[in-house]
Structure 1
Amino acid sequence: MTVSTDPVDAFNASEVVSAAKFASSDTGVATVAADGTITAVAVGSTTITATSGTFNATVAVTVSAA
């Protein structure tokens, strides 16, 4: 997951991006590293959330069997 601002050169954009924290709603399905890298753990669905200050975004992740 990548955090960015629009426009890229918005006031304090670098602080917003660098302050982003990531979380998985179900770490038994997928984990997310501090840099936003998502790693599958088991089959299932989870939501990854990126938060920076009062801003947040989510992405639904589904892990399927190969």
Structure 2
Amino acid sequence: METSQKTASIKVGDTRNITVSAVPSDADDASAVVSAVTWSSSDDTKATVSASGVITGVAEGTATITATSGTFTATVAVTVTAA
């Protein structure tokens, strides 16, 4: 599994949509892996992430956004800057 971006830089109040894809994309369980993804942020005071993968900058700083599906994980390193 991989994310559409490995890093993201956004401003406070801005959003960025991140997607995931299965690797390989033609794996038998590719669609099941992608549909089961859950998202989390290492620091919700800096950046949050919605259930659909939309990251929102909350305050200046950094956070790691993690997509998880079963035993698979992928991350995005987010830097939030002043608006």
Give the TM interval when normalised to the shorter protein: over 0.9
Q: Which has the higher strand share?
A: 2
2:24 alignment partner in structure 1: 7
One of 62, 65, 75 as aligned partner of 1:48: 65
How many residues are paired up?
A: 66
Higher relative contact order (CA 8 A, sep 6+): 2
| TM-score (norm: length of structure 1) | 0.92
| Distance in 1 (alpha carbons) for counterparts of 2:70 and 2:23 | 16
Give 1:1-66 correspondences, 5 Å limit.
1-66=18-83
Q: Which consecutive unaligned segments of at least 5 residues does structure 1 have?
A: none
* RMSD of aligned residue pairs (Cα, Å): 0.9
| TM-score (norm: length of structure 2) | 0.75
Dislocated runs of 4+, deviation >4 Å: none
| Distance in 1 (alpha carbons) for counterparts of 2:25 and 2:62 | 31
Q: Which consecutive unaligned segments of at least 5 residues does structure 2 have?
A: 1-17
